[in-house]
Amino acid sequence: MQKHIDELTYEIVGTTIEVQKKTGRELLKNVYRQCLKEGLLHGKMFFLTEMRIPVLYKNEQLEIDFR
């Protein structure tokens, strides 16, 4: 299991570095995010983006979420 996680991490970090090298560091977040998504898809990685994570406060779910 750890080997699989290490391989995934290597691929993700490598793709991130490749995107930065090809595009520079000064992109807007949404442009950088799209380039990274394309890079990961090109590497045959399947993933979900902008997943909603509920926010709990005092055992109550708030009407907001993290994305």
47 or 65: which leads in pLDDT: 47
CA distance 11 to 66: 25
Q: What is the dihedral of CA 21, 52, 43, 46, to 10 degrees?
A: 180
Q: What is the pLDDT of residues 2-58, one digit of tens each?
A: 988 999 999 999 999 999 999 987 888 889 999 999 999 998 888 888 888 888 999
Judge whether residue 67 has pLDDT over 70: no
Q: How many structural domains compose the chain?
A: 1
65 or 49: which leads in pLDDT: 49
Which residues make Cβ contacts (< 8 Å) with residue 61, sequence separation at least 6? 54, 55
SS3 label, residue 21: helix
How wide is the angle at C-alpha 16 spanned by C-alphas 15 and 20, nearest 5°?
A: 115
Structural domain for 58, as ranges: 2-66
